Each structure stands twice: as C-alpha cells, then as structure tokens.
Structure 1
Amino acid sequence: MEGSGEEFMKYRSPLVSRYASKEMAYNFSDRKKFTTWRRLWLYLAMAEKELGLSITDAQVSEMASHLEDIDFVMAAEEERKLRHDVMAHVHTFAHCCPAAAPIIHLGATSCYVGDNTVEELDRKVTEMAGFKKSYLVTGQTYSRKVDIDSLCVLASLGATVHKICTDIRLLANLKEIEEPFEKEQIGSSAMPYKRNPMRAERCCSLARHLMALVSDPLQTAAVQWLERTLDDSANRRISLPESFLTADIILSTLQNITEGLVVYPKVIERHIRHELPFMATENIIMAMVKAGGNRQDCHEKIRVLSQQAAAVVKQEGGDNDLLARVQADPYFTSILGQLDSILDPKTFIGRAPQQVTRFLSEEVRPVLEPYKSKMDVKIELEL
C-alpha cells in the first residue's frame, strides 16, 4: 500500500478498517460529530435570537458559513491544554467566527452538544439500519436511558443473528447449503478443499461482541444515582459507536449471505430420506392401531427393528434399512400399502409454510414498507 506507513503504526478498530460500510463509518467519524456540534451551536444561537437575546444576524450568518471548515489540529492542541473537548471546539469555532465568538455555546452545558449529537447519530443510524425510534431531542435532554434502550435492542438483534448464522454454519457442515464463495476465495491456508462459512462465522463472532456491549450502559446507569456525572463519558465514546457499527456490519454481512446463498436440494433430500424412517415410527404405530393393532405390541416391534437398523448405520456404516425391515415383517402387512403416504416428508412440517407466509405478510413486510425505496441495494463485502 502507498503512503509513509505511519497509519499502520497505531491500533485501528477492525470494525472500521475491515468491515464497516462507508456510510456507517462516516456517521461516527470526528467530522460528522464535530460538524454536528457546530450545527447545534448555530441552532441554539438562532433560537436564542428569536427569544430576544442580543444576537445579531451577522453573528448567525458567520456561524452558518463556518460549519464545515474545522481545524482539527488546533482543536487537538486546545484539548491538550484545556482537557475539555467541548471547550476546545468552542475555542476552535470561535477562532474562525470572531464576531460570533462571544455567543457560541451561550447558556449551554456540554450535554447540549454531547447528548443531542448522540441522538442525531442514533437517529441517522437507525434510519440506515431500518429501525424506528420516536425519541424527541430537545435542549438539555440527557440520553442515558436512550443509550440503554438502543443497546438492548441491538443486543437482541445480535442474539437473533447469532442463532441464524449458527444454524447456517451447521447446515453448511452438512453440505445442504453454502454461503457465497467467490472464484478465487481461499477457505483454508492448509486445506485447499475447504469452503469455510467465513461470512456466517463473522456474524457469529461480532454478534457475541454486540451482545456483550449492553453491559456497559447498564453498569454505568447502576452507579450514577441520577446525578450529572461524567463517568459515562469515555464509555459512551466506545460502546455506542461500536454497537451501531457492529450491528450494521452484521446486517450487511447477513444480507450478503442471503443474496448469494446456494442450496443443494439433492443433499437435503438424501438426509431426509436417511432419517425419515426413524421420524415416521410414531406415524406407523398410529396407522397400525387404526388398522386394528395393539399400540404396545406395535411399539415393541418398532423398537426392536429400529435398534437393528441403527446398529447397521452406527456399527457397519450402512444405510438406514428400517423401512425394508418393516416391509419384510408380516406383522405390518395391513399397512404396507400406506407406507408411501406415511413417509411423505410434507406430512412432517405441520403448518410451517402457512405460518411463515403469515409472519411475512403481517409482521415483516409492513415494517419494510417505509424503506422500500432504499432496499434495492446489493451488498458487496470489502473483506
């Protein structure tokens, strides 16, 4: 890679350097954060002017014209001297707005820019992720409760995705499905044949991190006694951005998996046929009783034959021959003509298809409808 290499001499969060979308990474960038501070100071001045404070149109215009041109070097130097990030940026903003300098941050506390910026980034990120919120952001709102609510929702998302992707990994191990696997992709440095489900593994790994992050605001809230303290400040700088960045990465990766998912119906059919005779034993018993048999006698017959078939599978490495044993036993003569229908795989899924259809129509599609215009996006992973 080009450059001096100095950028590789410090730790960089993999959430941003490897995985995050450009939009989400920007949303939690210094530029986004501090330009939002400046906009909040502008809105504060405009509101105070409207309420009758001695603030001029020239001061408001000067602030509006310098929202983006932040001298980050000066701001860093100011913070080193003042040990206060908000005042460092007040001084930096005042430097390029000399006329407005006396009224920047007038009547406000650090929470005004700090908490409302968190709310703004939260609102933006929930729009991108498809979540919906109804929190009202006003003047001195303090957002500890919002922090906890947001992270609890994301932790629940992490748990759900972890379950989904663990199932996809297990099914991939059975060779029933595969996540996208690109032409030159390497599954293992040692075993060239391997096609590891690295996307699902990434989702599982990051989901654990996301679930763990919810303890940060819970522990903070437990010891603050409703007082205005700053013992949450450093924690929030890490836990909030990382939560939303992680959730965004997980959702994007999961979308990438589903867009390129490969299903192998023949393998699935083989597995079903292999296990179905064992699964159908209760149905065979029911059919025998309906035909006049004794439930306990039939159960014993099936038990013996099932154990014999299981021994062939486990001890000899053979196929499941329970069905052949049932067909060969005169005891089951009365139901042999029904075996095809008894072993029809469709009879073992209950109302699952109708339940899925109903869930999609009543729960999923109404939630997705407001974002319909933004959903035609194909996800390509950077790494």
Structure 2
Amino acid sequence: MPNTPPDDGTSLDTYQNPLIQRYASPEMATHWGNTRRFATWRSLWVALAEAEQELGIAITDDQIRQLKQFQDDLNLDVAKDYEKKLRHDVMAHVHAYGDQCPDARGIIHLGATSCFITDNADLVLIRQALRLVARRLAATILRMADFAQQHRALPCLAFTHFQPAQPTTVGKRCTLWMYDLVLDLVEVEHRLDQLACRSTKGTTGTQASFLELFSGDADKVRQLEKRVAEKLGFEKIYAVTGQTYPRKVDSQILDALSGIGQSLHKIATDLRLLAGRKEVEEPFEKHQIGSSAMAYKRNPMRSERICALSRFVISLQSSPAMTAATQWMERTLDDSANRRLVIPQAFLAIDAALVLMQNVADGMVVYPATIARNLAAELPFMATENILMQAVSAGGDRQELHEQIRVHSQAAAQRVKNEGADNDLLDRLKQDTAFSGIDVDAATDPSAFVGRAPEQVDEILGDVVGPIRQRYQSDTDLSVDVHV
C-alpha cells in the first residue's frame, strides 16, 4: 500500500467507531464531538477573562467582545496546524483563538494552566451528559410504568433459580426491572448534585499564579475562583485539588454508568428468556429478518444488543478506578489518553443501551394465552397446599391427606417428564374420595396465588414513579430512530 498519511477519521478506509456510526443517539454523539468540546474551551477563556476584568485586571471591554465574537467560530484547521508544531493541544487552540482575536491575544489563558481548560471543560461536558442520561432513565422508567400498569394483574409463573416458583404478575415483574432503574436514577442525580467545578486552582492546586496575578491579594483569588465557577453554572467547587480535579470523581461517575449497565443487562436478559418461553417479546418490525438461514426466527436483537453495550460499559468501570489509584502526587499524565477513551465511550454506550431499552419498553408484546398455559402446567403443584388446608378444614387427617397428595404429585410429575403429557394432578385429586368435598378448580384460580402483586404495582407507581413523572414530565419525549 502507498505510504499515505492517516486521514481525519471520516474516511471509510479507517476504523469507524460503532458507538457513533450505529448505536448512540445523535444528541450524545454530538455532545462528545470536537465542536462542542472546543467551543466549551473557548467559553472557559471568556469566563476567565470576564472574571479577571471584574476583579481589576487590565482587560478591556473590546477584548471581551472580540473573544465572544469568535467563541463559536472555531478555526479547527488552524489549531490542528499549530498542534503539529507545538505538540500541545491547549496551546494550539490558544494560538488559533488568538489569531482570530488579535486584540485579546495577550490575555487569553491569563494565569491559567492547561487543566483549567481541559478539566473544567470535562466537568461541563460530564454534567450535561449526566443530565441526558437522567432524562433517558426517566423516560425508560415511565414507559415501563405504563406497561406495568397495563398488566398489573395478569398472573404469570415466577421463577427462582430459573425454576418455577409461586406466581407473580407480569406488571409486578416489570416493577422489579423498573425499580433497579429508579435506584440508578437516584445515583445519577446524586452524582450530579455532588459534581463541582475545578475552577482556578492553578498549576498544582496552590493558586500561586493567580496570587501573583493579583499582587498577593488572596481575597481576589478566592473571588476569582467563585466567579468563574458561577459563570460555568456550578454552585460548588472542589475544596482541594492537585493539578486536576480528583480522579476519584471519574471513578464514581463510571460506577453510576456501570450500575445502569448492570440493570439494563438484567432486564434484557429476562426479556430474552421470556421470549424463549414465548410469553413476552420485544418489538419486531413487519419486514425485520431474524435470521439469514432460519426465516421463522424472531431473534431478540434489541435485547441482545442492550446486553452487549451494557457489558462494555461494565467492563470500562475498572479503568477510572485504576487511574484514580495511580495518580502520583499532584498529577501524572497517564490519565489523559485513558480518560479520552473511557469517559465519552461509557456515556455513548449507556446512551445507546437506554435508547434501545426505551424503545423496547414502549413496544413490548405480551402473549396472555401462552402465559396462562405455562402457568397452568405448574399451578397444580403449587395449589396442593391450599387444597390440603381445605381438606383438613373439611375434617380430613392432615398426615394422610399429605401422603395422598405426595403420591399423586409424584405420579403426575413422572407422566409429564417421561411421557411429555399434560399435568393431570388436579384430575387425580378430583377422583380421590379423600378430596371429594373440595372445589379443586376454585382452589387453582391463578389470581389467588399472586398475593398483593397488583396492589404493589399501584403503590410503586404512585409512591416511587409519581415523583419521577413530576420531575421529568417535560423531558421524557426522547424517542430516536433505532438501528436494528
């Protein structure tokens, strides 16, 4: 092959990130793009210059106006050329911005270190990305709430150890999924509440350069820190830092994103199992192909992709933890490349998984007849305790009745397993004179075995989902096209 330089990442000859090309929403993909990032850098230089001017540094109104004039007019090609020469991304953009703002060139980045730009910009981007994740979580929770309400009282077979267990309802099972996401939303909101600004901490966190800039006036240095943070929309500032904001923060944020991934993976796995039982399925489009060979198949592609993306996010959880653990003294630069990869891609992947889960929750298909048949196949065994109690109340001997039920149950189970026949336990009990006074059919009404499941659905929708609906009532219309 000819020795050609690498392209800019848009050519089909180079690797394309599937998170951008196939999975994440345009909103999240754009959010982590270079245009948004470098425009955020410039907003930081404007905020710094404004705050310094307000506190008496010789910066003119014309210089501020010029900075604002070109704040969103990015000359990225010029910055790229500067970076080839300077080998420093922040200084390349300082020079490129200065070319557009010659009158303000001398005051751009005044007193600041590179991490004033990169770290504060990352915090701004992380904050907005977390807000989008919170909105997607809320949208998914509310879609599931509607599904749970619709099927609040539909009895179905429950499972422990993936073995048939006491019945529940389809709506109650959905609340299990939904509540995991509620806990994730609480954690995301907590991380948003705790997120702070690095602001003007200086090269090693001592603010020495700003103290020099203000001729030893420590009060103005403190005011500068507060004003810059406010201009960036932060109410809090990290109390102490080295050169960077605490990398512990990145680890905590990835913990929250991984937690969402864990929840989504469990939900999607349950749906895949239920699809295998033909009880509940994800949406399947009219012309969708499930298999290139087996035309009849309805593969749960959305749920499988949710699992794949969620597993990726879970796997990323360890990188920020390792980075936080290995930061030497005030800072080392081995965090940089790792963070450029991990943080955006974790957000992109969890965004993609949430988009899919919202789509699935909005169109889940339920098959009540299959659910009833599957439940009926196991319900006779579960009903035996109720039948035993009724027979004892009618005057029977508990121990003798228990033995009769044991014998009939074993015989019915052998018939099911060895012959593939239907469960005939109830017919056997009806024909046994020891149970002649018992209404066996009434004792096996499925709704009698689900306990308070329907009421529990009502309670969680009112007590837990209700406040979420109030907080996010204007933010949950986040439907996007799904690439299946």
Code of the aligned partner of 2:61 = D
Partner in structure 2 of residue 60 of structure 1:
64
1:106 CA displacement: 1.1
Partner in structure 2 of residue 90 of structure 1:
94
Give 1:174-213 correspondences, 5 Å limit: 174-213=277-316
Code of the aligned partner of 2:399 = Q
Give 1:196-235 correspondences, 5 Å limit: 196-225=299-328, 227-235=330-338
Report if aligned partners of 1:119, 1:143 keep a CA contact under 8 Å in 2: no
Partner in structure 2 of residue 346 of structure 1:
447
Counterpart CA distance in 2 for 1:258 and 1:198 is 14
Aligned-pair Cα RMSD in Å? 1.8
1:24 CA displacement: 0.6
Unpaired segments of 5 or more residues in structure 1?
A: none
Closer, same or farther in 2 for the Cα pair 1:323/1:226, shift >3 Å?
A: farther
Q: Secondary structure at the residue paired with 2:472?
A: helix
Code of the aligned partner of 1:136 = A
Is residue 119 of structure 2 the alignment partner of residue 119 of structure 1?
no
> Given the alignment, which residue of 239, 247, 250 partners 2:342?
239
Report percent identity of matched pairs: 50
Counterpart CA distance in 1 for 2:469 and 2:329 is 37
Report if aligned partners of 1:255, 1:379 keep a CA contact under 8 Å in 2: no
Partner in structure 1 of residue 196 of structure 2:
136
1:293 CA displacement: 3.2
Is residue 268 of structure 2 the alignment partner of residue 165 of structure 1?
yes
Code of the aligned partner of 1:169 = R
Give 1:101-112 correspondences, 5 Å limit: 101-112=105-116
Partner in structure 1 of residue 473 of structure 2:
372
Q: Secondary structure at the residue paired with 1:7?
A: coil
Partner in structure 1 of residue 79 of structure 2:
75
Report if aligned partners of 2:274, 2:280 keep a CA contact under 8 Å in 1: yes
Report if aligned partners of 1:129, 1:248 keep a CA contact under 8 Å in 2: yes
Partner in structure 1 of residue 419 of structure 2:
316
Code of the aligned partner of 1:201 = E
1:181 CA displacement: 0.9
Unpaired segments of 5 or more residues in structure 2?
A: 1-8, 135-187, 202-237, 239-244
Question: Taking CA–CA contacts closer than 8 Å with sequence separation of 6 or more, which of the two structures ends up with the larger relative contact order?
Answer: 2
Give 1:273-292 correspondences, 5 Å limit: 273-292=376-395
Code of the aligned partner of 1:330 = T
TM-score under structure 2 length normalisation: 0.75
1:245-264, Cα deviation, whole Å (9 max, x unpaired): 11111111111011111111
TM-score under structure 1 length normalisation: 0.93
Partner in structure 1 of residue 483 of structure 2:
382
Counterpart CA distance in 2 for 1:331 and 1:281 is 13
Is residue 28 of structure 2 the alignment partner of residue 24 of structure 1?
yes
Report if aligned partners of 1:37, 1:117 keep a CA contact under 8 Å in 2: yes
Give 1:244-259 correspondences, 5 Å limit: 244-259=347-362
Counterpart CA distance in 2 for 1:369 and 1:110 is 41
Counterpart CA distance in 1 for 2:460 and 2:246 is 34
Counterpart CA distance in 2 for 1:153 and 1:159 is 10
1:1-48, Cα deviation, whole Å (9 max, x unpaired): xxxx97211111111110111111000001100100011111001001
Closer, same or farther in 2 for the Cα pair 1:278/1:226, shift >3 Å?
A: farther
Counterpart CA distance in 2 for 1:226 and 1:366 is 44
